[in-house]
Structure 1
Amino acid sequence: MPLIRRRSLLKAGGVLAGATSIGGLPAAAHSSHPVFAHGIASGDPTPDGVVLWTRITPEPGAQPGSGLGPDCAVEWEVAADERFSTVLARGSTTTGAWRDHTVKVDVMGLPAGQWWWYRFRALGVVSRLGRTRTAPAADAPLPRLRLGVVSCSNWQAGHFAAYRHLAVRGDLDAVLHLGDYLYEYAPGEFQARDVVVRPHDPPVEMTELEHYRRRHAQYKTDPDLADLHAAVPFVVTWDDHESANDAWSGGAQNHTEGAEGAWRDRTAASQRAYAEWMPVRWEPGTPLYRRLRFGTLADLSVLDLRSHRSRQVTTPLDPGSHDPERTITGDEQMRWLTSGLANSTAQWKLIGNPVMIAPVQVPSTLSVEERSAIGELTGAPEVHGPPYNVDQWDGYTADREEVLGLLRDNGITDAVFLTGDIHSAWAAELPASPATYPLDRESVGVELVCTSVTSDNLDDILRAPPRTASVAVEAAIRANNPHVKHLDFDSHGFSVLDVTPERVQADWFALADRTDPNSTAQRAVSFAVTAGTQQVHRVPEGIA
């Protein structure tokens, strides 16, 4: 079902003015009612609107993926205050088993750059309250934009304490999730150092629509994720595990044609469930890549690097990595990206980039065990020499040269790639000419990579205590890649990105223990990009 768009802006005086509930039911009393067992969410803020999402359980048998349960009427409201005394917009829709009883509404006609409260009502029950925000007007000067940045949240590998720490901050405009929001594996296939912290449902690798729906539903029951969704709008894209590991346009490493059905059927199922269960302004058959604008300060280009890419080469030394006929973006998305960068009138060009674009060479001085561990971390079939991860832009160097060459040749400044996927924290400059860097110190942009929320990283694969075996590996990679200014292969957690006219700063936060739902988190390091420099440097103080 396409998103339901509501342009009518309703005056508060005629819509439940002064009311604190819908139908006399106190909203707070129903924050965890079974009708709304999977929470509420918002996403993709624009200057006049935002996507609202929820899922209804109309009766006990109407569980996600079951295909059971009656159609259900659902009402929604958006207000300027928590008491809903100033309601600006309201509407109703119907959901049913045909879309897994999910609801997605594209509310439009709201004033720009403001916080809003929203809620749903179904079957006489009111959902918990949600808080969301519209983007500022495209021509509005904006003194600050602050984003939470996350990726790689594997249910089986731990608890989502990282989401809890983001939810309680109260200073975020949005959360950028760069992919691997959920994982396809069955219990026992991929978890925390081979220990299943929380088993996946269903207890099989997801390959069918029922599986994907049930897995999405399970993740939505995590209390910390639910709180974060209710607190701030999300901007999302997928990487590979939303469908299957190392996915490309015609298949995936973790897909066996025949035994697991046709890839087109599996990816269609994964995409349908994604459209149903995520607060994203997208439906199957349309491009997922899109651009959001935050005043004159920044625009955010969100990439899809799975749906249109050529198949990965089979070895890091395969000359196909440099074949201009192979692509990671696809031709149409590349034109959209380069045109957007060339014509942007925003100061900062932020790019939501699911896999790393910075070139990285792994030194041959590393041991076989260390190279093997990096290969397992990155999915590379073998690790020596350039490039080291053919699933990233290193395996599609012609596309990378087109993007970086555009920045270089057109003098485009203040481009910052925000990246996930690799279960580690990086701050890197993007060399205009990787072959001659650092003799030629020209940098055309910066890449800031967030670590994993829970997924295994290098110390987990090596079965070593944090900040022991990985330290020498990090130092060797930095020495071999002087454009890499920071690398942490061990920490799990999240990042906070603060954008001002003067600079972009990223703070990385590390969890004390990903397997502890009550884990603390501590700022590990901060790096900043001064406007106009295309260079990243460490700063001592975190974001105020």
Structure 2
Amino acid sequence: MTSRHPSSPRRRTVVRAAAASAAAAPVLATATTTSAAPAHPAGPPAFLHGVASGDPLPDGVLLWTRVTPEPGAEPGSGRGAATPVHWEVAEDREFARISASGTAVASAASDHTVKADVRGLRPATAYYFRFTAGDDHTAGDATTGVVSPVGRTRTAPAADAAAPGIRFGVVSCANWEAGWFSAYRHLAARPDLDAVLHLGDYLYEYGTGQYPTQGTALREHLPAHEILSLTDYRTRHGNYKTDADLQALHAAHPVIAIWDDHEFANNAWSGGAQNHTPDTEGAWEQRVAAAKRAYFEWMPVRASTEGTVYRRLRFGRLADLHLLDLRSFRSQQASIGSGRVDDPERTVTGRAQLDWLKAGLAASGAAWQLVGTSVMISPVAFGALPAHLLEPLAGLLGLPKEGLAVNVDQWDGYTDDRRELIAHLRDRSIADTVFLTGDVHMAWANDVPTRAATYPLSPSAATEFVVTSVTSDNLDDILRVAPRTVSLVAAAAVRAANRHVKWVDMDAHGYGVLDVTAERAQMDYYVLSDRTAKDATSAWARSYRTRRGTQRVERADRPVR
């Protein structure tokens, strides 16, 4: 990849309890369609999977696209010639003021995906970007080649800047077969976001109709079978990126993403997964290597040198964003009732990552510590739930249907790591830490107590905002009942048994908008009218905030915007 600048450039990533590494550096990949191969004319290259940006820095951003160089060169096919692709970043939509440009090559080795890690931009600035493929595009003349859609991105504030505020869209858990991605459309339409934080389960690995129940697919996966190979994962990523609402989201905002389990297989851990059978599906190491390679090809994410997604982004002196990988290094989930959830030899983070997180929290001079975690850190006991609700909640969490007390796939299954991290926050007087979480297809607002059994007499060490799913099933979907009927009983029981849980919504699909200022961090929760309707509307549901220095959440009476 080459990069060139103009002669005088402008300086410038509980519903289931409640109703290795392939490439260390990013590799480039491809995609398919909704349920059939994308149609395009023979001849010139085509940009069928949109454009994207991610991981904003004060001086740069990561750009992404995928080129279909010729008919039949579908994601995972290995077909198609290597194609030079020119990229441009400008301060205006007309590209009259080019800030940076360069050329990369889309080849079958990267599934014809392209990434450009652009630097030399100005902090806290909106930019436009595009790609060109075809004759003479390397000359920088976008009129002579095939031009991609135009994307908009934004750099982060300077590291030492007193940023007045930041605002993130927050999403997780998008099952292609369960509904339309209207949440993405509504976030794409908001011009006020600095970035969108995707907390995992960007895609699902199952075959058509397998999850959550047989025969309920609104639209079918590609490939139709459960994905296992590099070709399969590339094809599934490509299929997702044919969705118009997902393309709109990526074109409108930089996306900061981490993975959870379904980017690999359900309830994944370092040596396997609940949804992986070595005897019939091959070695786990090969499957996870394929999944990671496809992920880094298809996502606007910078990989660490270990081929993982834990990393840190800074947003001026206002906030550090610590992003975790809670699948690559964790011990196998404990069996319910085994008594092993407290075993200090078991880990959800891995030793190196936990040390990295603790060091980053202690060294940060930012006002807020935001921690992107794919599974809930707040302790939650479900033993008080009525028996008829334990079974569907266990099914939602992928856990045994008898004896459910805690969700062992969350930090509840790895209590020694949580104890160590909370003790670190307390002992180092690290205040204003906010965990941002997905995974459970429900919305929560929690205090994170130092000792749940004696809360609120014992203090809260942090707070946690959990967003619901974009489409994946929650309690009313599993039970096939009207929203706010059975779930009200379950939510009341959860709150009664867990006094640090201030709110839980087990029914809605939607997204969050996190607004952070020097005085408070507030999550506004938005819900969709119907996940199965392409034109679903969005409405504000609730807001919770934590004020600086309190380590507790409280209800806010209106959204920030």
What does residue 17 of structure 1 align with? none
Q: TM-score, normalised by structure 2?
A: 0.90
What does residue 181 of structure 1 align with? 202
1:534 aligns with 2:555: no
1:271 aligns with 2:292: yes
Corresponding residue SS for 2:322: strand
Q: Structure 1 376/289 Cα, relative in aligned 2: closer, same or farther at 3 Å?
A: same
The one-letter code matched in structure 2 to 1:145 is: I
Find the aligned partners of 1:306 and 1:164 in 2 and give their Cα distance.
Answer: 29
Q: Structure 1 283/329 Cα, relative in aligned 2: closer, same or farther at 3 Å?
A: closer
What does residue 281 of structure 1 align with? 302
Find the aligned partners of 2:289 and 2:6 in 1 and give their Cα distance.
Answer: 38
Find the aligned partners of 1:369 and 1:426 in 2 and give their Cα distance.
Answer: 22
Match 2:256 to one of 224, 227, 235: 235
The one-letter code matched in structure 2 to 1:485 is: K
Instruction: Provide the aligned length of Structure 1 versus Structure 2.
Output: 519
Match 2:6 to one of 2, 5, 10: 10
* CA RMSD, Structure 1 to Structure 2 (Å): 1.6
Tell me the CA shift for residue 284 of structure 1: 7.5
Find the aligned partners of 1:143 and 1:495 in 2 and give their Cα distance.
Answer: 20
Indicate conservation of the 8 Å contact 1:156/1:192, yes or no.
no
Indicate conservation of the 8 Å contact 2:452/2:498, yes or no.
no
Corresponding residue SS for 1:528: strand
Indicate conservation of the 8 Å contact 1:112/1:135, yes or no.
yes
The one-letter code matched in structure 2 to 1:428 is: N
Find the aligned partners of 2:366 and 2:117 in 1 and give their Cα distance.
Answer: 25
Tell me the CA shift for residue 438 of structure 1: 2.5
What does residue 137 of structure 2 align with? none
Indicate conservation of the 8 Å contact 1:275/1:283, yes or no.
no
Find the aligned partners of 1:286 and 1:257 in 2 and give their Cα distance.
Answer: 23
What does residue 209 of structure 1 align with? 230
What does residue 376 of structure 1 align with? 395
Find the aligned partners of 2:62 and 2:5 in 1 and give their Cα distance.
Answer: 15
1:397 aligns with 2:418: no
Match 2:153 to one of 106, 110, 132: 132
Tell me the CA shift for residue 319 of structure 1: 1.6
1:466 aligns with 2:483: yes
What does residue 73 of structure 1 align with? 84
Find the aligned partners of 2:404 and 2:472 in 1 and give their Cα distance.
Answer: 26
1:488 aligns with 2:509: no
79-88 vs 371-380, greater mean Cα deviation? 371-380
The one-letter code matched in structure 2 to 1:406 is: H
Tell me the CA shift for residue 517 of structure 1: 1.1
Find the aligned partners of 1:510 and 1:80 in 2 and give their Cα distance.
Answer: 34
Tell me the CA shift for residue 34 of structure 1: 6.8
What does residue 436 of structure 2 align with? 418
Find the aligned partners of 1:13 and 1:477 in 2 and give their Cα distance.
Answer: 57
Tell me the CA shift for residue 192 of structure 1: 7.7
What does residue 517 of structure 1 align with? 534
Find the aligned partners of 1:284 and 1:269 in 2 and give their Cα distance.
Answer: 17
Tell me the CA shift for residue 437 of structure 1: 1.6
Tell me the CA shift for residue 287 of structure 1: 3.2
For structure 1, the 5+ residue unaligned runs are: 15-29
Find the aligned partners of 1:180 and 1:536 in 2 and give their Cα distance.
Answer: 26
117-126 vs 376-385, greater mean Cα deviation? 376-385
Find the aligned partners of 1:332 and 1:458 in 2 and give their Cα distance.
Answer: 36
Indicate conservation of the 8 Å contact 2:177/2:219, yes or no.
yes
Indicate conservation of the 8 Å contact 2:65/2:115, yes or no.
yes
Tell me the CA shift for residue 409 of structure 1: 1.3
Q: Structure 1 283/206 Cα, relative in aligned 2: closer, same or farther at 3 Å?
A: farther
Query: For residues 46-85 of structure 1, what are the structure 2 equivalents within 5 Å?
Result: 46-85=57-96
Find the aligned partners of 1:385 and 1:269 in 2 and give their Cα distance.
Answer: 33
1:413-444 Cα deviation digits (max 9, x unpaired): 1000000000000000000122322332x111
The one-letter code matched in structure 2 to 1:389 is: N
What does residue 22 of structure 1 align with? none
Tell me the CA shift for residue 87 of structure 1: 0.2
The one-letter code matched in structure 1 to 2:105 is: T
The one-letter code matched in structure 2 to 1:511 is: L
Tell me the CA shift for residue 183 of structure 1: 0.3
Tell me the CA shift for residue 85 of structure 1: 0.9
The one-letter code matched in structure 2 to 1:59 is: E
The one-letter code matched in structure 1 to 2:526 is: F
Q: TM-score, normalised by structure 1?
A: 0.93
Find the aligned partners of 2:172 and 2:87 in 1 and give their Cα distance.
Answer: 30
The one-letter code matched in structure 1 to 2:189 is: V
Tell me the CA shift for residue 285 of structure 1: 3.9
Find the aligned partners of 1:392 and 1:301 in 2 and give their Cα distance.
Answer: 18
Match 1:95 to one of 106, 111, 118: 106
Find the aligned partners of 1:180 and 1:413 in 2 and give their Cα distance.
Answer: 29
Indicate conservation of the 8 Å contact 1:54/1:102, yes or no.
yes
Q: Structure 1 500/383 Cα, relative in aligned 2: closer, same or farther at 3 Å?
A: farther
The one-letter code matched in structure 2 to 1:268 is: A
Find the aligned partners of 2:170 and 2:445 in 1 and give their Cα distance.
Answer: 14
Indicate conservation of the 8 Å contact 1:74/1:122, yes or no.
yes
1:466-505 Cα deviation digits (max 9, x unpaired): 1100001100110110000000000000000000001001
Match 1:355 to one of 375, 390, 410: 375
Q: Structure 1 11/114 Cα, relative in aligned 2: closer, same or farther at 3 Å?
A: farther
What does residue 18 of structure 1 align with? none
Find the aligned partners of 2:517 and 2:541 in 1 and give their Cα distance.
Answer: 21
What does residue 119 of structure 2 align with? 108
Find the aligned partners of 1:13 and 1:305 in 2 and give their Cα distance.
Answer: 41
The one-letter code matched in structure 1 to 2:415 is: T
1:140-169 Cα deviation digits (max 9, x unpaired): 001110000000000000000000000001
Tell me the CA shift for residue 378 of structure 1: 1.8
Indicate conservation of the 8 Å contact 1:151/1:420, yes or no.
yes
Tell me the CA shift for residue 190 of structure 1: 1.1
1:442-474 Cα deviation digits (max 9, x unpaired): 111000000000000011111111110000110
Find the aligned partners of 2:455 and 2:341 in 1 and give their Cα distance.
Answer: 20
Corresponding residue SS for 1:337: helix
Indicate conservation of the 8 Å contact 2:545/2:555, yes or no.
yes
Tell me the CA shift for residue 13 of structure 1: 7.6
What does residue 28 of structure 2 align with? none
1:86-127 Cα deviation digits (max 9, x unpaired): 101110011211110000110011111101010000022000
Match 2:493 to one of 459, 462, 476: 476
The one-letter code matched in structure 2 to 1:397 is: T
Indicate conservation of the 8 Å contact 2:237/2:298, yes or no.
yes
Find the aligned partners of 1:101 and 1:251 in 2 and give their Cα distance.
Answer: 29
Identical positions, percent: 55
Find the aligned partners of 2:163 and 2:198 in 1 and give their Cα distance.
Answer: 22
Indicate conservation of the 8 Å contact 2:45/2:146, yes or no.
no
What does residue 276 of structure 2 align with? 255
1:273-296 Cα deviation digits (max 9, x unpaired): 001000001168433200000000
Tell me the CA shift for residue 526 of structure 1: 0.5
Query: For residues 157-196 of structure 1, what are the structure 2 equivalents within 5 Å?
Result: 157-191=178-212, 195-196=216-217
Find the aligned partners of 1:54 and 1:505 in 2 and give their Cα distance.
Answer: 33
What does residue 352 of structure 2 align with? 332
What does residue 366 of structure 2 align with? 346
1:219 aligns with 2:219: no
Find the aligned partners of 2:9 and 2:361 in 1 and give their Cα distance.
Answer: 44
Q: Structure 1 284/71 Cα, relative in aligned 2: closer, same or farther at 3 Å?
A: farther
Find the aligned partners of 2:215 and 2:313 in 1 and give their Cα distance.
Answer: 39
1:438 aligns with 2:456: yes
Indicate conservation of the 8 Å contact 1:192/1:456, yes or no.
no
Indicate conservation of the 8 Å contact 1:192/1:460, yes or no.
no
Q: Structure 1 157/193 Cα, relative in aligned 2: closer, same or farther at 3 Å?
A: farther
What does residue 24 of structure 2 align with? none
Indicate conservation of the 8 Å contact 2:86/2:132, yes or no.
yes
Q: Structure 1 258/222 Cα, relative in aligned 2: closer, same or farther at 3 Å?
A: same
What does residue 141 of structure 2 align with? none
